[in-house]
Amino acid sequence: GEDVEQSLFLSVREGDSSVINCTYTDSSSTYLYWYKQEPGAGLQLLTYIFSNMDMKQDQRLTVLLNKKDKHLSLRIADTQTGDSAIYFCAEKGNDMRFGAGTRLTVKP
Amino acid sequence: DAMVIQNPRYQVTQFGKPVTLSCSQTLNHNVMYWYQQKSSQAPKLLFHYYDKDFNNEADTPDNFQSRRPNTSFCFLDIRSPGLGDAAMYLCATSRNRDTYNEQFFGPGTRLTVL
């Protein structure tokens, strides 16, 4: 089957920018999502982007979409310790398909 | 606050002993989903209900069943849990199944099989 892929770990220092990358393979996906999962909690929708857009900004979050390369990224500006969590990329075609998640660790 | 609630948060069962996980929602959403999430893996959709219409994923084992007695509640039944069924089970809801419909997730139930 087609997979959504993302690197498993990212470590940054507090105040730096974090960039989490994702590749997807279903060209029919119309929406792409970023979810955040904190320890012991469910997935929380952070932001999404429609496939005809190439960028979306929402406060500290910037989503970039390269539809030609099927590449999605999430940039978190001024990363804080409270941003430490697992971040899931997901695509929505007929079904919702998730990546395995990137564990972001923010060091003080 | 409107939300998706899962009970219990932690469940321990014995190999082969049936277990039921519970999900309820106050969002009045039409669709309820069950996902299985193993450590360091993507959540995997097991099945979903669109209203009373049950939709099973092709690779979901027969060992997993679901019931939705009303709009608010949905249950996941594991008839004979194996060691490989130990995982986090996530319930989610969405208003509809349209292309854009945000899924709202519960906190999950972590299942341990002894």
pLDDT, position A40: 77
Contact at CB, B100 and A48, closer than 8 angstroms: yes
Chain A residues inside the 8 Å CB shell of B107? 40-42
Q: Considering CB atoms only, which of A8, A30, A45 is closest to B99?
A: A30
- Gap between the Cα atoms of A45 and A34, Å rounded: 6
The CB-based long-range contact list for B57-65 (8 Å cut-off, 24+ gap) reads: B64/B34
Chain B residues inside the 8 Å CB shell of A95? 45
Neighbour tally for B26: CB within 10 Å: 12
pLDDT tens digits, one per residue of B7-17 = 899 999 999 99
pLDDT, position A1: 46
Q: Considering CB atoms only, which of B40, B41, B106 is closest to A42?
A: B106
- A46 close contact with B: CB closer than 8 A: no
Chain B residues inside the 8 Å CB shell of A101? 40, 42
Contact at CB, A100 and B100, closer than 8 angstroms: no
Chain A residues inside the 8 Å CB shell of B45? 95-96
pLDDT, position B40: 80
Give yes or no for residue B1 having a pLDDT over 50: yes
Task: For strands B64-67 and B73-78, give the pairing.
Answer: antiparallel
- Gap between the Cα atoms of A71 and A13, Å rounded: 25
pLDDT, position B2: 61
B114 pLDDT band (50/70/90 cuts)? very high
Instruction: Give every residue of chain A whose pLDDT is below 50, as ranges.
Output: 1
pLDDT, position B99: 62
pLDDT, position B100: 67
Give the minimum alpha-carbon distance from A24 to chain B in angstroms, rounded to a whole number. Answer: 13
pLDDT tens digits, one per residue of B38-90 = 988 889 999 999 999 999 998 999 999 999 999 999 999 999 999 999 999 99
